[in-house]
A = this chain, B = another copy of it.
Amino acid sequence: MRPQEDRKRVMIEGVRPEIDGGRYPIKRTVGEKVEVEADIFADSHDVLSAVLLYRMEGGSSQWTEAPMEFLVNDRWKGSFVVNEIGRYVCTLQAWVDHFQTWQRDLAKKVDAGQDVSMDLLAGAGIIKDAISQAPGADAKRLEEWAADLKSPQGLKDKVRLALDEELKALMARYPDRRFATTYEKKLMVVVDRTKARYSAWYEMFPRSCADEAGRHGTFKDCEARLPYIAQMGFDVLYLAPIHPIGRTHRKGRNNSPAAGPDDPGSPWAIGSKEGGHKAVHPRLGTLEEFRHLVIKAEEQGMEVAIDLAFQCTPDHPYVEKRPEWFHWKPDGTIQYAENPPKKYEDIYPLNFETEQWKDLWEELKSIVLFWLDQGVQIFRVDNPHTKPFVFWEWLINEIKKDYPGVIFLAEAFTRPKVMYRLAKLGFTQSYTYFAWRNTKWEITQYFTELYHGEVREFFRPNLWPNTPDILTEYLQMGGRAAFMVRLALAATLSANYGIYGPAFELCENRPKEFGSEEYLDSEKYEIRNWDIESPDSLKDLIGRVNRIRRENPALQSDWSLRFHPVDNEQIICYSKNTEDFSNIVLVIVNLDPHHTHSGWLELPISDWGLEPIRPYQVHDLLSDARYLWHGSRNYVEINPQVVPAHIFRLRRRIRTERDFDYYM
């Protein structure tokens, strides 16, 4: 049999956004809007009303309501703004609005010249039913209205009263929701701090920060490097792992199988007799010095992010203390990592199928808590796709319960569905395929998928033109111009981006060998000494790009991205804007690092509120040049040997006095 009450006539379905049937939350940052659409309909032809209900999880159990409005074809829309970090829940409610139905039908009958005296009485009845819900003053007002509709005064006056907008507004406050339908799911919204949406990352190896060649860098050296990074305008400083490095099977320079006595090993080979994931490498300094670095970075506008690489060397303390957390071979040794035929003898993967999985999970959580205690709030997670999804979902939720501002960046370069699942289950930001998307077609396809599909609700891209593992062919082949192209794209296509430096600003592009994306003399296996004051450095350009991002809110979020046609395959053109179009940024990049290209653009100027007959100004924020453009079709020519990109801010003319135009 049916439930007790089945006089609910309204259906709610096709709710968007709703990730995997409501299984996963959508993501927002503080101050952003949550827009919800749904199909809402009932039998027959009655008028409906609908609201969004939302509240913070763990806060008051009272719902706040936001009205929904009818769009077209049974589709409704409503929205609310999330103002606090944490989790919101949201659902929908809709009901047959007998009062509005009555008003609509009354108007139709009046128009058709029908006798409506009976209808006016019926209306008085509906108003009377609402009175019990209304407080004093409103109750009194409704009483009067009901009495008027039943009074002996002229029919015409009563009809006017019945159709009055004030009555409609008053009745809307006290709808009869006895048979209201509440949507059966509660949709979740994870609200992060602004940096989850808008951040500029700088990755570096602390051990390479020493001033002089040949010395192992320290946290103190990192502190000395802070002004250099701050000047470039970054706000996240991500350090390659800072833990003790194993000795057994340590890799030598250029990943040679046997390390020399002075080879420092890979920082991702974590664990030695000096400690594991909660220790710092003795040559970098002490935990106290690390905390000092965190504070100093903060003073210069940067947060320190560290790496979570959940794997161990054979020398890691866990191997002795918790041998059951590893895979064992029939000969009684522990199984090293392999991806046949490749072997990684210096790494023991953790066995998440162990009987002791609960202890293992708790220990890994304690690592995150340990670093939170040291002041770290941002974690770049190494290869999360090689550990179980359920583990990450648990870990991230556990941490965010007490530390809702923590940011986890997923470094999963793998199949799309795996990357998306990691984002759904909780990772705040994600690495992408950006590094390998070079052509106009590829870039257009990829960012359309990321920003204009359901994916955007849970997957926040963080674009990296290079990483210690990725020196793309485009960068290898394209020289300095290629680095500028990829910088301009990364910093403007996404509000979150990062570079691995100083390799990036110094245009380091020597591969280990042809066909490889590994660096020659990679910092992963040796200490490098970088000439950061080189005159060829891109540091000033990077600084300018990051300042443009700071000064133009259009570049601080992603969903407004639109691509615009250019009649040259080597030139890509796109724009971003704020919701009110007060800030419009137009980016035009020559993707060919070798040749000058030109082309005609086609811009949607009427969408931007520009009149086709009046000129407008485009102000190149990179070169400070200004151009006066007319209409939707305009010409560009870009020489990659100068700067391969324009980042235009669109400036409208605000008034004309004789020959002088002013642009805002």
Binding site for B on A (CB under 8 A): 2, 6-9, 11, 13-14, 20-22, 39, 41-45, 73-74, 104-105, 108-109, 111-112, 114, 118, 121-122, 125, 179, 329-331, 338-341, 352-353, 357, 361, 385-391, 394, 415-418, 421
Q: List 25 A-B contacts (CB under 8 A).
A: A2-B394, A6-B357, A6-B361, A6-B388, A7-B352, A8-B390, A9-B353, A9-B389, A11-B389, A13-B417, A14-B417, A21-B22, A43-B385, A43-B388, A43-B418, A44-B385, A45-B339, A73-B415, A73-B416, A74-B415, A105-B340, A108-B341, A118-B331, A121-B331, A122-B329
**Contacting pair A111 B416 (CB below 8 A):** no
Chain B, Cβ-Cβ closest to A116: B340
Contact of A39 among B112, B179, B417 (CB under 8 A): B417
- The answer to whether B112 and A340 touch across the interface, beta carbons within 8 angstroms, is yes
What B residues does A42 contact at CB under 8 A?
A: 388-389
In the complex, A361 Cα to B112 Cα: how many Å? 36
The smallest C-beta distance from A280 to any residue of chain B, in angstroms, reads: 28
Contacting residue for A121 out of B104, B330, B391, B416, CB 8 A:
B330
Contact B341 A74 (CB under 8 A): no
Question: Assuming A13-B20, A417-B39, is B330 touching A6 (CB within 8 A)?
Answer: no
A9 touches B329 (CB 8 A): no
A13 CA to B422 CA, complexed, in Å: 13
Assembly CA distance A111 to B342 (angstroms): 12
Residues on B with C-beta less than 8 A from A331 are: 118, 121
Question: Which residue of B has the minimal Cβ distance to A327?
Answer: B122
Give complex CA distance A389, B10 in Å.
Answer: 8
Copies in the complex: 2
In the assembled complex, which residues on chain B have CB atoms less than 8 Å from the CB atom of A390?
2, 6, 8-9
B421 touches A41 (CB 8 A): yes
Complex CA distance for A2 and B396, rounded to whole angstroms: 13
Q: With the chains together, A204 CA to B73 CA distance in Å? A: 34
Q: Is the CB of B330 within 8 A of A9?
A: no
Assess A329 versus B118: contact at CB under 8 Å? Given A112-B341, A417-B73, A417-B74.
yes
Which residue of chain B is the closest to A418 with respect to CB atoms?
B41
Minimum C-beta distance from A327 to chain B (A): 10
B-chain residues with CB within 8 Å of residue A421 when the two chains form the complex = 11, 13, 41
Nearest chain B CB to A650's CB is how many angstroms away?
39
Q: Is the CB of A9 within 8 A of B388?
A: yes
Can you name the residue of chain B whose Cβ is closest to the Cβ of A13? B20
Asked if A74 meets B13 with Cβ closer than 8 Å, knowing A352-B7, A386-B43, the reply is no
B41 and A417 contact, CB distance less than 8 A: yes
Shortest CB distance A432–B (Å):
17
A20 — which chain B residues lie within 8 A by C-beta? Answer: 13-14
**In the bound complex, what is the Cα–Cα distance between A7 and B361 (angstroms)?**
11
Q: How far is the CB of A398 from chain B (nearest CB, A)?
A: 9
B112 touches A6 (CB 8 A): no
Please give the distance in Å from A604's CB to the nearest CB on chain B. 27
* Nearest 7 Cβ contacts at the A-B interface: A112-B341, A21-B21, A108-B340, A121-B330, A105-B340, A74-B417, A9-B388
Contact A44 B386 (CB under 8 A): yes
A41 adjacent to B339 (CB under 8 Å)? no
The smallest C-beta distance from A422 to any residue of chain B, in angstroms, reads 9
Given contacts A387-B43, A421-B11, contact A394 B6 (CB under 8 A): yes
Chain B residues with CB under 8 A of A386: 43-44
Flag if B341 contacts A111 (CB, 8 Å).
yes
List residues of chain B with CB within 8 A of the CB of A39: 417
Given contacts A331-B121, A394-B2, contact A109 B43 (CB under 8 A): no
Asked whether, in the complex, the Cβ of A352 is within 8 Å of the Cβ of B74, the reply is no
- What is the CA–CA distance of A8 and B353 in the complex, to the nearest angstrom? 8
Return chain B residues, CB-CB under 8 Å to A118. Answer: 329-331
Besides the contacts A6-B388, A8-B390, A105-B338, what 9 more A-B pairs have beta carbons closer than 8 Å? A2-B390, A6-B357, A7-B388, A43-B386, A118-B329, A118-B331, A122-B329, A125-B330, A179-B353
